[in-house]
Amino acid sequence: MRGQLILIEGLDRSGKSTQAGLLTERLAQAHSSQLYKFPDRSTPIGALINKYLTDSSFQLDDHSAHLLFSANRWELYTELLQALNDGKFVVLDRYIYSGIAYSLAKSSLKHASSELGDVDWLYSPDKGLPKPDLTLFLSLSIEELGKRKGWGQERYELEQFQKEVKSCFLRILDPSKDSTVHLVNVEGKSIHEVQQVIWDVVVEAGCDKLTELPVQKLD
């Protein structure tokens, strides 16, 4: 039996870190659980990513940046897989879909995607990583995001870019094509209300229980 892999995705300030923390605590009432946040800025590649996000004078080709975010996930791959197979529930605060959506929102990487929605180049470095058993995308309007605290000075924290990222997220996260994907409308909901909606989805999907299914891999 193994633990389940549950991913919380969304735009900056949509409440991912708050909810990922609360979900990890809730799962810990019955199981061992662990939270992983991506990018993980504490690793060697994470330090480079942190410099890229916080220092606007530090330039990287957009393809290189994309590959670094993926490489950062591979740095944690063995540990994360081991945790699941040891029966730990793993909650992810961002993962591959942030990787694709933020890159796809850049005009320089539009060529890596076709009109038909093929994002193969952007997707390929993550192939082989564990696939989440459940993905929750926290959705709310850009207007409401603007009212939230915590808007920093980081590279992607620009309103127009966030709008583009949101449409890219909604393009790649389609519940009608992947039953493990759920869009959670958090507009106007308190932290507690969102926590309850998320928990209901987790229970409904059976992701609050250990499973015998092997860890799925992204292909």
Which residues are near ligand FDM by CB under 6 A? 12, 38-39, 53, 69, 94, 98-99, 102, 156
Sort residue 52 into left (φ over 0), alpha (ψ -120 to 50) or beta. Answer: alpha
CA 109-11-133 angle, 5° bins: 90
Q: Is residue 43 within the footprint of ligand ADP (CB under 6 A)?
A: no
Quick one: which H or E segment has residue 74? helix 62-75
Identify what 156 binds: ligand ADP, ligand FDM, Mg ion, none; CB under 5 to 8 Å per kind: ligand FDM
Q: For Mg ion, which is the closer residue by CB, 17 or 180?
A: 17
Separation of CA 86 from chain center: 22
Q: For ligand ADP, which is the closer residue by CB, 146 or 206?
A: 146
Least distance (Å) from ligand FDM to the CB of residue 203?
26
Contacts (CB under 6 A) with ligand ADP, residues 5-34: 10, 12-18
- Which residue of 2, 17, 63, 209 would you call a contact of Mg ion, by CB under 5 A? 17
Residue 94 contacts residue 9 (beta carbons within 8 Å): yes
Q: For ligand ADP, which is the closer residue by CB, 118 or 200?
A: 200
Least distance (Å) from ligand FDM to the CB of residue 25?
19
Residue 207 contacts residue 131 (beta carbons within 8 Å): no
Sort residue 17 into left (φ over 0), alpha (ψ -120 to 50) or beta. Answer: alpha
91-101 in b/e form (b: 16+ CB < 10 A) is bbbbbbbbbbb
Identify what 3 binds: ligand FDM, ligand ADP, Mg ion, none; CB under 5 to 8 Å per kind: none
Least distance (Å) from ligand ADP to the CB of residue 33?
18
Residue 126-155 contact track with ligand ADP, rule CB under 6 A, x = bound: ----------------------xxx-----
Least distance (Å) from ligand FDM to the CB of residue 120?
16
Q: For ligand ADP, which is the closer residue by CB, 152 or 206?
A: 152
DSSP state, residue 63? H
- Residue 34's φ and ψ, nearest 5 degrees, are -145, 140
- Residue 85's φ and ψ, nearest 5 degrees, are -70, -20
Q: Is residue 189 within the footprint of ligand ADP (CB under 6 A)?
A: yes
